[in-house]
């Protein structure tokens, strides 16, 4: 089984990870970016992921990998910015109404970490996960630290 922390977001518009994209490509014998776009709409919106989709198609076809460590740093930085903005604008205001605070910690691969301060019940924790998955990617793993010393709460795995 793939370590979820090794996954990364390829198509930000459609919230598609590299693992899910590889599965679409292999299970459906896709060969071109156009076929990928028809299948799942990756690269079909802003087009920013087109080169990455081509690289993954090439890797599966047996060509040398094209995704570099520098590319990964860029993808992680984008993921951080998107998660931080979602936490600040889409999650924090709702939690504040319940007397809770949320702080973005980090994001990498396909994982986001946040900290919640206050008496967060399971409904509030589930809201955080659902909102981040809606805005970022259905495959996102959300790790929630509660207050200072508690073990993180991972919630349900992605569907």
Please report, as ranges, the residues that interact with ligand FES according to CB under 6 A. Answer: 11-14, 42-49
3-state secondary structure of 86: helix
Q: How many CA atoms lie within 13 A of 91 on its CB side?
A: 29
Chain-centroid distance of CA 61 in Å reads 25
Phi, psi of 107 (to 5 degrees): -145, 140
Compute the distance between CA of residue 152 and CA of residue 44 in angstroms, rounded to an integer. 36
Q: Please answer whether residues 145 and 152 qualify as being in contact, where contact means their C-beta atoms are separated by less than 8 angstroms.
A: yes
CB of 43: closest distance to ligand FES in angstroms? 5
* Minimum CB distance to ligand FES, residue 92 (Å): 25
Q: Strands, DSSP E only, in the chain?
A: 9-11, 16-17, 101-108, 111-117, 141-146
Q: Of 133 and 146, which has the nearer Cβ to ligand FES?
A: 133
Report the residue number, 11 or 112, with the smaller CB distance to ligand FES. Answer: 11
In angstroms, what is the minimal distance from the CB of 50 to ligand FES? Answer: 7
CB of 104 to ligand FES, least distance (A): 21
Beta carbon nearer to ligand FES, 8 or 12: 12
Cβ closest to ligand FES, residue 12 vs residue 146: 12
């Amino acid at each position: 089984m793939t370590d979820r922390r090794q996954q990364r977001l390829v198509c930000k518009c459609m919230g598609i990870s590299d693992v899910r994209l590889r599965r679409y490509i292999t299970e459906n014998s896709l060969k071109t970016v156009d076929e990928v776009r028809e299948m799942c709409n990756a690269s079909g919106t802003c087009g920013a992921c087109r080169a990455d989709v081509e690289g993954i198609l090439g890797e599966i076809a047996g060509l040398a990998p094209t995704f570099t460590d520098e590319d990964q740093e860029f993808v992680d930085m984008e993921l951080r910015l998107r998660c931080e903005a979602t936490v600040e604008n889409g999650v924090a205001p709702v939690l504040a109404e319940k007397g809770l605070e949320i702080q973005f910690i980090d994001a990498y691969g396909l994982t986001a970490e946040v900290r919640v301060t206050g008496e967060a019940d399971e409904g509030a924790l589930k809201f955080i996960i659902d909102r981040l998955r809606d805005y970022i990617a259905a495959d996102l793993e959300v790790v929630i630290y509660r207050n200072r010393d508690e073990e993180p709460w991972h919630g349900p795995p992605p569907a």
